[in-house]
Amino acid sequence: MRIEILVFDGVDEMDVMGPFEVWSHAARRPQFELALVGLDGPADVTGLHGLQFKAPEGLGQPDALFVPGGGWMNRAEKGAWAEARRGVMPERIAALAPSLQWIGSVCTGSMLLAEAGLVKGRPATTNRGAWAELEAFGADLKTNRVVDDGTLVTAGGITCGIDLALHVVERELGADVADGIAGAMEYARDRDVWISDTDQPV
């Protein structure tokens, strides 16, 4: 499984780095591959809090796509809100979604999925500061840290992305592997996960 994490200027650093740390451990196994990607090719990214890092590849044809957030609630000039207003990112996400095994988000990354038309009528969550906005897009809001609706996996604010990433590892590789990664990170898992009993297309 190849997971691509889509990054952009103004992204919240922990939204990216928490899941990246988890999946980097998982990627030591042949079943997992991980990449940071920019929307239009390799990118130099400056995060919400000033951290500078590189996405060495552009968005491709992954098995799964993960979308972080940042800069939504304060309507920042760079971040998820700005990308939604620009419109290109939601369009690309919507076009790619049908080919994915699953699509995920943390924090207000789910608002980009909402702008792409992917949450209407489906269980989902986001940063608590954007719950009402997510509901306005027609999502069936859940207030759990992680919401697993099969092909749509969303997480609440910031550190919830670590729990989502560990949950995905458990789904794909088993609980022992996920618990082992959490132990290596010295991270106490929060298992507040809502799981759907149906598996809908993206």
Tell me the mean pLDDT in the region 47-73: 98
Which structure tokens are listed for 14?
């922990």
Q: How high does pLDDT run on average in the chain?
A: 97
pLDDT category at 197 given cuts 50, 70, 90 is confident
pLDDT at position 55: 98
What are the pLDDT digits (tens) for 114-162? 999 999 999 999 999 999 999 999 999 999 999 999 999 999 999 999 9
pLDDT at 66 over 90: yes
Reported confidence tier of residue 67, pLDDT bands at 50, 70, 90: very high
Higher pLDDT, 197 or 166: 166
Share in percent of the chain as helix, strand, coil (round to 5): 35, 20, 40
Question: In angstroms, rounded to a whole number, what is the distance separating the alpha carbons of residues 99 and 27?
Answer: 21
How far is Cα 158 from Cα 182, in angstroms, rounded to an integer? 17
**% of the chain surpassing 90 pLDDT:** 97
Q: Check whether 57 has a pLDDT greater than 60.
A: yes
Predicted TM-score of the model (pTM):
0.96
C-beta contacts of 159-162 below 8 A and 24+ residues apart: 159/14, 159/18, 160/106, 160/107, 160/190, 161/14, 161/15, 161/18, 161/19, 161/68, 161/106, 161/107, 162/18, 162/19, 162/21, 162/22, 162/187
Q: Over the stretch 8-43, which tens digit does the pLDDT of each residue have?
A: 999 999 999 999 999 999 999 998 999 999 999 999
Tell me which of 28-32, 59-63, 148-152, 182-186 is least confident. 28-32
Q: How high is the pLDDT of residue 199?
A: 58
pLDDT of residue 7: 98
Other beta carbons within 10 angstroms of residue 87's beta carbon come to 10
What is the band of 202 on the pLDDT scale with cuts at 50, 70, 90? low
- Counting residues of the chain whose pLDDT is more than 70, the rounded percentage is 98
Residues annotated as catalytic are 107
Q: What is the pLDDT of residue 170?
A: 97
Alpha carbon of residue 102 to chain centroid: 10
Q: Which CATH architecture has domain 2-109+160-192?
A: 3-Layer(aba) Sandwich (3.40)
